Chain A
């Protein structure tokens, strides 16, 4: 069992006229799955590719759960994220990143909007 310390901050003074946003949240996440994929960079294409080496299979929190970080390293093209049924649920513009607990999917697919942008990712399975 290992611990992943995650902290996220969000702030804005002009998203709303009447309310400023400034918040930081932190959580010590327990990682106890047997599939721990450290920071990796892959070259994507317009054909979807699974980025999970071993199918996610844990039973905690609804099942097949993993903490996932993905960043689009490209300066031009987008990276599209799909579930294991090939349904698109996220889209990373150049330089954008995401962090979320994936669930109910044996893998996560990524593909390029065009060309071959590099994708950086981290996947940590929960048992």
Chain B
């Protein structure tokens, strides 16, 4: 079993008039699935959903840790992120995304009920980098 260390820091001095935000969270992950992927995708373009995984996420609850970043720096090239609940090779529910990555934005989330993740850019052909770590083998 591998060990993956993750740290998230969030801070702001102007979100609230009377309160400064500043905290850090750390976690030590132990992904034990039989599918661990580092990937980089040049997205096809608006109107096409690209799947990031060549093998379905398995294990109880179909769970995986997902880190993803939109490498684009072009305004308007945001990427819609949706879960693929049906088999790889079939389309996810159209336009039912749970996240949007603007240029330079990232996410870290333990996805669930998710056989794969679909990506569709609003415009252009942004590049997305990701690390997908299946939690448990199926």
Contact: B10 with A104, CB < 8 Å?
no
- How far in angstroms is the closest Cβ of chain B from A7? 4
Say whether A12 contacts B4, CB under 8 Å: yes
Q: How far is the CA of A110 from the CA of B64 in the complex (A)?
A: 18
Q: Is the CB of A99 within 8 A of B10?
A: yes
| Interchain CB contact under 8 A, B113 and A87 | yes
Tell me if A62 and B15 are in contact (CB < 8 A): no
**A119 an interface residue at 8 Å Cβ cutoff?**
no
Interface string of A35-77 (1 = CB under 8 A from B): 0101100000000000000000000011001000101000000
Q: C-beta contact mask, A60-103 vs B, less than 8 Å → 1, else 0?
A: 01100100010100000000110101011111110111111111
Asked if residues A15 and B110 are in contact (CB atoms below 8 Å), the reply is: no
A14 to B2, Cβ gap below 8 A?
yes
| Number of A positions contacting B (CB below 8 A) | 53
B98 to nearest A CB, angstroms? 5
Determine whether the beta carbon of B25 is less than 8 Å from that of A27. no
Main secondary structure on A side of the interface with B: strand
Q: Which residue of B lies closest to A64 (CB)?
A: B100
Q: Max chain A CB contacts within 10 Å: which of B38, B67, B107, B114?
A: B107
- Rounded to whole Å, the gap between the CB of B33 and the closest CB of chain A is 11
Residues of B within 8 A of A29 (CB): 105
The tally of residues in B whose CB lies under 8 Å from a CB in A reads 52
Instruction: Determine if A11 and B5 form an interchain contact, defined as CB atoms under 8 angstroms apart.
Output: yes
Give A57 to B110 CA distance when docked, in angstroms: 25
- With both beta carbons as reference points, the residue of chain B lying nearest to A62 in the complex is identified as B100
**Contact A16–B108 (Cβ < 8 Å):** no
Does A124 lie at the interface of the complex (its beta carbon under 8 Å from any beta carbon of B)?
Answer: yes
Q: Which residues of B are found within 8 Å of A92, using beta-carbon distances?
A: 110
Inter-subunit contact B96/A85 (CB<8 Å): yes
Contact B7 A97 (CB under 8 A): no
Bound-state CA distance A101–B46 (Å) is 20
Which residues from B are CB-within-8-Å of A27?
Answer: 104-106
Q: What are 11 of the A-B contact pairs (CB < 8 Å)? A: A5-B9, A6-B9, A10-B67, A15-B31, A31-B15, A62-B122, A71-B25, A96-B27, A99-B109, A103-B99, A104-B100
Q: 16 more A-B contacts (CB under 8 A) besides A15-B133, A16-B38, A27-B104?
A: A2-B12, A9-B6, A9-B7, A10-B6, A12-B2, A21-B4, A27-B106, A85-B96, A91-B113, A92-B110, A99-B8, A100-B107, A100-B109, A103-B98, A103-B100, A104-B98
